[in-house]
A and B are shown apart, each in its own frame.
Chain A
Amino acid sequence: MELLDRYLQAVRFWLPKAQRDDIAAELSEDIRSQIEERESALARPLNDSEVAGILKQHGRPFLVANRFRPQQHLIGPVLFPIYGFVLKVVAAFYLLPWVLVWIGLNVSRAAHSGKSLMEALASLWTAFWPMAFFIVGAITVVFAVLERVEAKSKFLDQWDPRKLPPVRDPNRIPVSATFTEVTFNLVFAIWLVAGMWYQTSLHFSGVSIPSPRYGHTYSGVSFHSRPRTSLPRARTCFDLIGPRPARWYA
C-alpha cells in the first residue's frame, strides 16, 4: 500500500486546502475498494505493478486534483480574441517601428563612433527584450483586470446595433495603404535630402570623397546627426581621409 499512500500524498498537494482531507479520504476509500475487489477475485494480494495499473487508470495526481477545483483563467475565452488583436496591433504599430527606428539610428551611430555592426545589434537585443516584455506584461495585466470587471458588470452585453460602423466600400483604397505609401515616400525624401545635404557639406569642407560607395553609405544612414555642431562633423571629415577603412566593411 506504500504506492497508494504516495499517490494520495501527491493528489493532496494539489487539492484545495479546505477540502483536502475529505477528498483524499474519499479517494483513498474508492481506490482501496477497487483493490480489495480485485484481490478477492484473484484470491491473492495484488503486487506493486497491479496496484500501479489501478493508480494509472485513475490518472495523474495533478489532473485528478484539478477536477475538484473551479475552472480558473487569467483571460477568459470571451476577451481572449480582443487580447490577441491588441497584441498584434502593438507588435505591428509599436514594436516593429521601434526596432526599425532603433536600427536606423544605431547603425549610423555605430558608423560614427567606430563600433562594429555586431556590437550595435547586440545592444539592440538587450534593449528590445525588457521593453517588449514590459509592454506585453502591461497589456496582460490590463486584460486580466478587465476580465474581472467584465465578469461582474457584463459591459459586453450592453451594445446598440445602430452604433455599428457603416459598411465598407470594397472599391475604396484602404487608409493603411495610403499611410504606408506616404511613409515610404517621406523616408525616401528624407534619405535623398540628407544625402544631398551631406555631399554639399563635404564639398564645402574641401574634402574629396575617396570612393562613391563610401559617400553613398554615409549619406544614406546619417541624417539624424544634422543638428550636431561642427565638431563631430569635422571629426567625420577626418575619419573620411583617415586610414580606417575596416569598420565600413565590418
Chain B
Amino acid sequence: MLAVLAELRNEQYGYTLRKSLAEQGVEIDEGTLYPLLRRLESQGLLVSEWREEDKRNKRFYRISREGKVILKQLLSEWQSIGRSLESVLKES
C-alpha cells in the first residue's frame, strides 16, 4: 500500500503501475492491486479519471492531497518500525 501510494506520486494507469512496481521488486498481482486502488480511492487517498490514450480508454490514478499527508505519516511510521526492529535484531 505504501509502495502504491509512493508510486502514484506520478500519474499512472493500472497496468503500467503494476509493471513499474514489479520492476522495482514489489510484485502485486492484479487481483490484489485493483481492489486496493479502489479502496484507496474510496478513502480519498487517490483520485482517478478515465482518459483516452493510444485510442483506448484507461483509468489514470494519482495521489490526492490527503493521500500525500497520509503517505508522509506512513513513511515516518515505517521508518520508526524499521529502526526499532533493527535495534532488537542487533541486541539478539
Chain A interface residues (CB < 8 Å from chain B): 19, 23, 25-27, 29-30, 32-34, 58-59, 63-64, 67-68
Contact = CB atoms under 8 A, between A and B. Distances in A.
A172 to B, nearest CB: 46
Interface string B1-33: 000000000000111001000000000001110
A29 B56 contact: yes
Label chain B's interface by main secondary structure: helix
Given A26-B59, A29-B56, A67-B34, 20 more contacts: A19-B38, A23-B34, A25-B50, A25-B59, A27-B30, A29-B13, A29-B57, A29-B58, A30-B15, A30-B18, A30-B30, A33-B15, A58-B30, A59-B31, A64-B31, A67-B31, A67-B32, A67-B35, A68-B34, A68-B38
A32 B55 CA distance: 13
Contacts of A19: 38
A164 to B, nearest CB: 35
Interface of B: 13-15, 18, 30-32, 34-35, 38, 50, 56-59
Contact of B57 (A23, A25, A59): A25
B57 to A, nearest CB: 7
A103 B11 CA distance: 74
